[in-house]
Amino acid sequence: MLRASTLTSERLDYQPLRREDLETYVRLRNEASYRQWFYFQDPPTLESAAREIEEMQEKSRREIHLLREAFDSGVYLKETGELIGTVSLNKFHGPEEELEHVEIGYGIGEAYQCRGYATEAAIAAVRWGLMRLRELGAEPILTGSAEHENRASRRVLEKSGFTFVCAKQYVSMYQVIG
């Protein structure tokens, strides 16, 4: 069974978002440092976030296939049990629904940034994601991308073992091979 709690690391717990974290999740997604880079997405409302949480809960009760579905997890502080962010592995499809790559995503709340939490979560997700891809018989490659000016995110990728591949129009592309 594939569960978010399959990820482990020293200071953080990884669990599907809990229903009681709905308001915290919406607040985190509406913070300026998050909106700065996700301006093209509508910020979640309480209603849409509740649906996302339901979906995450549903996925956590069954096996998910990393090449067909996104893996999303809440990032919780072990010490306090508080939700501080999210980490994800998302599939990107090219033409004709062919999988192009599986890409890491993460966000950490402003009150907790610059303490190494995103890097810790990214390292855990990379380790787990590469292992799952190998188990599925797929090439053990994960991709990361960040807007050129998103230096914090690019730094997280570098510290998590990704290497720079190329610069596209808006984003720098990275990958890690297991």
Ligand X SMILES: CC(C)(COP(=O)(O)OP(=O)(O)OC[C@H]1O[C@@H](n2cnc3c(N)ncnc32)[C@H](O)[C@@H]1OP(=O)(O)O)[C@@H](O)C(=O)NCCC(=O)NCCS
CB atoms within 10 A of CB 57: 14
Nearest approach in angstroms of CB 39 to ligand X is 11
Residues near ligand X (CB under 6 A): 33-34, 37, 106-108, 113-119, 146, 150-153, 155-156
Nearer to ligand X, 37 or 50 (CB): 37
Nearest approach in angstroms of CB 168 to ligand X is 13
First to last CA, the chain: 22
DSSP 66-105: TTTS-EEEEEEETTT--EEEEEEEEEEE-GGG-EEEEEEE
CB atoms within 10 A of CB 82: 14
Nearer to ligand X, 87 or 130 (CB): 87
Nearest approach in angstroms of CB 37 to ligand X is 4
Nearer to ligand X, 2 or 159 (CB): 159
Nearest approach in angstroms of CB 42 to ligand X is 16
Nearest approach in angstroms of CB 43 to ligand X is 13
Q: Which of 5, 1, 6 is nearest to 128 (CA)?
A: 6
Nearer to ligand X, 16 or 109 (CB): 109
> Counting every residue, how long is the chain?
178
Q: State whether residue 60 is helix, strand or coil.
A: helix
Nearer to ligand X, 2 or 88 (CB): 88
